[in-house]
Amino acid sequence: MTGTLNLQLHRKAEMDSARFRMRRVALFRSDLLPISETFIADQFLAYSTWTPSLIGFRFVPGIDLSRTGADVIQKNKTIISELHRKVIQHGQYFGLKSSRLRSMIAKTGASIVHAHFGYDAILVYDVTMDLNLPMIVTLHGTDVLTKREQWLSGKNGRYFKRYPDKLQKMFGDPRVWFITVSNALKRSALALGAPADRTITLYTGVDCNTFLPARRSGPKKHVLFVGRLVEFKGCEYLIKAMKNVQRRHSDIGLRIIGDGPLRKDLEHLATDLGVRADFMGAAPRSTVVSELAGALTLCVPSVTDSLGNFEAFGMVILEAQASAVPVVTSALGGSEAVVHGKTGFVFQERDVAAIEEHISALASDTHRAEEMGRAAREYVCHQFSITTCIKAVESLYDKVCLTG
């Protein structure tokens, strides 16, 4: 009996060892890759002990992935191929298993599947389980924070009506683990039903070789905002604060990178208040890097919106600090990456007076602003570098594959 048990244990150890040695992960995102998701591309390039394969349903305008070997179901966009993609994609929400998606994952040789965003994870969940692979899901914010009623209303798409129930199914599956991008988001995920023993906060790191301190000298003359122009980004509160900031410091401008449904309203607000603001629209990373070089501070004035969404983290908070730019923020998740009074300032949501106070403090004492910038870069590059953060992700893969 003992000999049989030992043989079984030996065979299991061999199987686990072989699976572990493969060290291949299939990274899934349905659309590859919007311009706002450079963090996924950065992670792809940062893996060291695991080999990633990037897969999805289609390529979209945004980040150039031509050198990544990314694979998609929709190779060429035609009316027929677009219809085919929609049939396959929507079918996953209704429990259908795409043989094409299954084959694409199997071809990677992956021993684990890692999906970004909960609403993308449910597209690949059934096929992943059919392949008997463990799964990691990174939850980024709206996939947790958007209220159930909003999904069920069909306003996000008819097939998304099934999202809350399918997310709960994944929560209950011991083969699925969850990464949250901040502790603030983790608390919301746990309240929604995420398993405490399979949900872990792992921060998304920043490439400190891409975001560097400005080489040019001279006074920094603008406050920078980067983000979609939607309610929870809170740009209106920054504009309101800048009214008095510019009264006290007439040379300090406001530059807003981003676009969205509130742009015209925000432009009108700036005009009505007499605030000098340059609305630059959506822009590539290179523009963000350039604008950070001349920024006095980055302000992230996020709020919890009417649907329950808040800033789960905010990569630009890390990007600014890596660029030696102090951050002024109310982001519930992003504030976890700011040391108040040392690398920036943290304030309560919608506190216009606090925004004005902190920006004015930096504008009045450029020496302090520079010191905070240097401290910010040192802190972020030590605690939140992409290499440090991706090692934590790879360690989770090791744990899941060896115990799953």
pLDDT at 92: 78
The verdict on 149 and 227 lying in the same domain is: no
Q: Give the separation between CA 394 and CA 23, rounded to whole angstroms.
A: 9
pLDDT at 217: 65
Q: Is residue 113 part of a domain?
A: yes
The verdict on 287 and 238 lying in the same domain is: yes
Q: In the numeric block, which tokens belong to residue 215? A: 């080489």
Q: Is residue 303 part of a domain?
A: yes
The verdict on 236 and 199 lying in the same domain is: no
The verdict on 194 and 230 lying in the same domain is: no
Q: Give the separation between CA 63 and CA 36, rounded to whole angstroms.
A: 9
pTM of the model: 0.87
Q: Is residue 362 part of a domain?
A: yes
The verdict on 112 and 42 lying in the same domain is: yes
Q: In the numeric block, which tokens belong to residue 26? A: 């299939």
pLDDT at 225: 98
Residue by residue, pLDDT tens for the chain (404 residues) are 444 434 444 454 444 444 445 689 999 999 999 888 889 999 999 999 999 999 998 898 888 888 788 988 888 777 777 787 888 877 777 777 888 899 999 999 999 999 999 999 999 999 999 999 999 999 999 999 988 888 888 887 777 888 999 999 999 999 999 999 999 999 999 999 999 999 999 999 999 999 999 876 667 789 999 999 999 999 999 999 999 999 999 999 999 999 999 999 999 999 999 999 999 999 988 999 999 999 999 999 999 998 888 999 999 999 999 999 999 999 999 899 999 999 999 999 999 999 999 999 999 998 999 999 999 999 999 999 999 999 999 999 999 997 75
Q: Which domain range does residue 373 map to?
A: 222-383
The verdict on 379 and 389 lying in the same domain is: no
The verdict on 121 and 248 lying in the same domain is: no
Q: What letter would DSSP give residue 159?
A: G
Q: Is residue 210 part of a domain?
A: no
Q: Is residue 358 part of a domain?
A: yes
Indicate the number of domains in the chain.
2
Q: Is residue 1 part of a domain?
A: no
How many C-beta atoms lie closer than 10 Å to residue 153's C-beta?
A: 11
The verdict on 238 and 310 lying in the same domain is: yes
Q: Give the separation between CA 355 and CA 343, rounded to whole angstroms.
A: 15
The verdict on 38 and 126 lying in the same domain is: yes
Q: In the numeric block, which tokens belong to residue 299? A: 């302000």
Q: Is residue 363 part of a domain?
A: yes
The verdict on 342 and 294 lying in the same domain is: yes
The verdict on 256 and 360 lying in the same domain is: yes
Let me know: does 191 contact 144? Beta carbons within 8 Å: no
pLDDT at 99: 87
| Domain containing residue 311: CATH number | 3.40.50.2000
Closest to 112 measured CA to CA, from 94, 135, 92, 146: 135
The verdict on 358 and 393 lying in the same domain is: no
Q: Is residue 180 part of a domain?
A: yes
Let me know: does 254 contact 238? Beta carbons within 8 Å: yes
